[in-house]
Structures are given as C-alpha cells and as structure tokens.
A and B are shown apart, each in its own frame.
Chain A
Amino acid sequence: MTATLPATTRVVTAPARPSRLAVRAAQLVAGAVVLAALVHLRIGWSDLAALPGALGHYLVLMFAHPNWAKLPYALQQTWVSVQMAWVGALLGVVVSTILGIPAAQGVSPLWVRLPLRGLFAVLRAVPEVIIAIVILTVTGLTPFTGALALTIGGIGTHGKWTYETIEAVPTGTAEAVRAAGGTLLEVARWGLWPAAAPELMSLALYRFEINVRTSAILGLIGVGGVGDLLTGYTQYRQWDAVGVLVIVVVVVTMLIDAASGAIRRRIMGGARTRVVDRTV
C-alpha cells in the first residue's frame, strides 16, 4: 500500500457550541466583585511598587546576621507555645469527642443534634484571639488562657470533624452488631469505634499541628509564648532577633508537622494521609 495520505481537511459542519451564558455571567459577577473590593480598599499603589524593595531590605536585616544570642530564650518561649498547643489539643479533643458523638446522625434525636451543631458552628466562627480576649478577664494573661482559648476554639472545628467522621462510617458493621443483639454501648464500641478510631486519632494530631500555629498568634495579645516575644522585638525594631525567632518558629513547626504527618500516615495505614479534604 503506497497510497499517499488523502487531504484530511474537508470542512465539516460542526454542531454549535452550547451556550455558556450562566458560567460567563457568574465569572463576570465574581470579577466585578473582586475589582470593586480592590478599588474600594484604596491600596496605595506607590506602596505596592515600593514593596519588593522594602521586603528585600527587611529580609536582609532579619536574616543576614541573625542574633543567635537570643536563641535560648526563643526556644524557651517556643516550648511554652507548644505546651499551650498540646494542652489545648488534649482538652479540646476530649470535650469534642464527648460532645461530637451525640451530634452525629443516627446517635441522637434532632433536638439534641441541632443545638450541638449550632454550638460548634458558633465556636468555629469566632477567631481564637477573640475567645482569648474574652476569657483573659478570668484567667489572666497566662499560657493557660491560651490553652483554654485553643480548647474552646478547637471544640468548634474538631467537634464538626468528629461527627462527620462518625457519620461517614459504613453502617454495615453497626447493623451487624445490632442484629446480633448488642446494646448501644456495644454497637458504639464494636460497630463504630474500629472504623472511626484511626481517622479520629489522625484528626486529633492534626488539631495539635494547627494549634502550634495558633498558639504563636495568641502570644501576640500577651498570653505568653513566641508571639509575645515577636511583638516585643518588632516594636523595638530588633530585626536580627526577629530573624532568629522566625527561623525557630519555622523549624519547630516544620519538625512537628513532619513528625505528626508520619504518625498520622502510620495510623491510617496508607501511603497518603487522607486529610486532603479537611483544612485549617
């Protein structure tokens, strides 16, 4: 067969492209909203232009000659922040589990579920900093306040994760236990717990990871820890100390993330942590 390839293009009448009016309209609206917001914010465009230069200048100030003399103190304060995060996570997980199980569909009637879920939504919506501001009148400017704020704020998110995880458990095992005549406690222990436990423990560790970050922020209002130190150094413009602090925060956070991630992977028994759909 030595026939030459025939001309492939004889013009064909193709069906018309379906109208994408709805999509285009949505894109236009979104674009308009963003543009309106941008204009109304009145960001100084000269500031924006000077930004790279300013950033470069300060990055050099921070990292060219870090003040390593401050390292021990920085580490000590970071340890305080981590403690806040740990206690906050522990208490938060305990309370969230106690409150979250009844909030799951199939465990309690609606008049129990709804208020609980509402409580979680409210606690989730209030930033932890504000919670800390409110409770520091009772517990003072101490790391314990920070831990409490993390606990209360964490109940909102972790409570939601708890009841979502329980609801996602396939019902087969629970049905089997019930059919074999198990009590509610036995159904929970043998029907729900084995399936939900790995993910719940993984989420608890994730909660701790997030808390480590938030605890640094709480320090900014004075409860202690790394944030406290940061406010001080930046106010007095001690950039070389700020540099050390940032390095410490980044390194400690990354180490905790790595360790926590590895443990979570082992718990979930797979190569990838399945927390892809969940975010801060």
Chain B
Amino acid sequence: MTERLATAPGAAQAASGPWPLRLDDVTVRYPNGTVALRNVSLSVAPGEMVSVVGLSGSGKSTLIRTLNGLVPVTSGHVEVGPYAVDELRGRRLRQLRGSVGMIFQGFNLADRTSVYNNVLVGRFSHTPTWRTLLGLVGHDDRDVVMAALDSVGMLEKVWGRAGALSGGQKQRVAIARALSQEPRVMLADEPVASLDPPTAHAVMSDLRRINSERGLTVLVNLHLMDLARQYTTRMIGLRGGELVYDGPAAPADDAVFEEIYGRPIQARDTLERPS
C-alpha cells in the first residue's frame, strides 16, 4: 500500500492556493448493483478548468461526487489537495467539503428563506454548530457573504426570498454560496442544463472568470459540446462509466464527441441551434 497523503489541514492552509484533484483507479458500485464508474484515473493540476462530458448515465454525476465524498468509492483512491477523500469521516470530511465549493443543476437553494441565508450556508464549515443554532453571525462571515454576492452581481437581492429569483439568478446565488466557503476547488454538476442559452453563457462566463481571477481549480460536468469547447481548456470524456477521452477541449471535433457519446451528433448536443 502506498503512503496516503492525509496531512493536517494546517499544512494545507500554509501552502495557500488552489488544490489538485486526483482519481486513482476509482470504481463506484451502487448498492443496487449498478457500476457507475469503472477504473477511472485522472489527474487535474491546481488552477485548471476541466469539463467532464458525457451523456446522462455516463457517470459524470458520480465522478464529481466522489471528489467531496457525497458518493463513497467502492475501490480506488481519491485525493483532493492534501486530503485522501475516501478515508475521511465526520469532522475531517466536513473540513474537506468546506474547501470544495459545489453548484448543482437544480440550484439546491432553500426557496423560502432569504438569499442571505442561502449564501450563509457556505460558511457552515467555518462556523461552530452552536453559533449557527443561535443564529449568531460574525462580522467577517457577513462580509464574506456580501463580497461573494457582489462578485456575482447579486448583492442588491441579498434580503429577498430565494424562491422569487429566476433560474439564472438562482445559479448565481449558488455560485456565491460556493464562493463564500473560500474554497480551493469549484465543482459544478450540470450547472446550465436548466437554463436558456443567454443565461447559460452568462453562468459559464462566471465560472471561467472565477477560474482566471481567483485561480481556483474548476471541474464542470456538461453534456453540451459547444460549451465544453468554448469555456474549458481540458476535457474528459466519460461513456458507460469509463474514461474514453482526456485531452484539450478546443481542438476536440465532432468525431471526438461521437466517440464520447457513442452515437452520431444530434441537434440537442449543442446549446445554439446550428443556423
């Protein structure tokens, strides 16, 4: 057994900066027998912006969730920064998750409460439970929340109800939530699948800007070819739980995507309808 790198978080903070990601021969089998990922190995350098492309059922959702432990791996090894994710439990797992921001296709906001509270969710791992229970929010937490909302242009909506926002606005709030964690890694699981084309572009631009301005490592699940080519530098293709492509995104042509999808290209594989 090779030595695991699970060092103390203090060491991670000392070496500030984005974290690398690594999957080593990872297989995920669900309790009902489905094998969602099969011997997948990949390595993402700190600060890279990577897209994971594939049809639904290809294992994209599972792969992204192995990185913060939302899905346990059946075999293999997952490393995020200094953490060996597959070995973490309880408090240490929550610490790791605190440094990994994640946004979802369904936004996953609490619609009945304010935008402020939703973004405050990002401060969970930085706040002791008793403070959250009593509703005590420190000044620095508040400042972080406001700054995060400001950076996605949603500051003026801070006190409004999250449910009253449009899809694009909700996703922005979700991004603010992730940013308020002060993360080292940003994960996005099909962030634009529920959005119309202009909004989708806006959100993808935000992600790219986060990657370039803050230098965060970004991993995005996409099923649309043109978005992957336009916004990410490196692309990973999954088909049937197996890795079938790992290379630069821009030069990937239709033939590459047909290989990844396992079928000819269709109109619904691109965001913009070909004119």
Contact = CB atoms under 8 A, between A and B. Distances in A.
Within 8 Å by CB, do A and B touch in the complex?
yes
Given A12-B155, A15-B159, A3 B147 contact: no
B16 interface: yes
Contact of A10 (B140, B147, B156, B211): B147
Nearest to B16: A4
Contacts of A15: 155-156, 158-159
Interface string A1-34: 1111110111110110110000000000000000
Contacts of B179: 8
A14 B47 contact: no
Interface residues of A, number: 15
A141 B48 CA distance: 84
Given A3-B17, A3-B215, A5-B16, A14 B158 contact: yes
B3 interface: no
- Sorting the interface of chain B by its residue count into under 10, 10 to 19, 20 to 34 or 35 or more gives 20 to 34
B184 interface: yes
Interface string B19-50: 00000000000000000000000000011100
In the complex, which of the residues B142, B147, B155 has the most CB atoms of chain A within 10 Å of its own CB atom? B147
Contacts of A18: 159
Contact of B214 (A6, A10, A11, A17): A6
B87 interface: no
Task: Identify whether the interface residues of B are mostly helix, strand, loop, or mixed.
Answer: helix
A39 B159 CA distance: 38
A17 B147 CA distance: 16
B81 interface: no
A11 B16 contact: no
Interface string A221-258: 00000000000000000000000000000000000000
B149 to A, nearest CB: 8
B46 A1 contact: yes
B219 to A, nearest CB: 14
A11 B143 contact: yes
Interface in B32-81: 46-48
B147 A2 contact: no
Contacts of A9: 140, 143-144, 147
Nearest to A14: B146
Contact of B215 (A5, A8, A10, A12): A5
A14 B214 CA distance: 22
A1 B18 contact: yes
Given A4-B16, A5-B17, A12 B159 contact: no
Contacts of A6: 213-214
B272 interface: no
Contacts of A14: 142, 146, 155, 158
Interface in A117-168: none
Contact of A8 (B142, B155, B182): B182
B258 interface: no
B143 A2 contact: no
A6 to B, nearest CB: 6
A109 B212 CA distance: 70
Contacts of A12: 143, 146-147, 150, 155
A152 B36 CA distance: 60
Given A3-B47, A3-B215, A8 B159 contact: no
Contact of A5 (B48, B140, B182): B182
Interface of B: 16-18, 46-48, 140, 142-144, 146-148, 150, 155-156, 158-159, 179, 182, 184, 211-216
Interface of A: 1-6, 8-12, 14-15, 17-18
Q: Report, nearest first, the 5 A-B pairs whose CB atoms are least far apart.
A: A1-B47, A3-B215, A14-B146, A12-B150, A12-B146
Given A5-B215, A12-B143, 12 more contacts: A1-B18, A2-B47, A3-B17, A4-B16, A4-B17, A5-B182, A8-B179, A8-B182, A9-B144, A12-B146, A14-B146, A15-B159
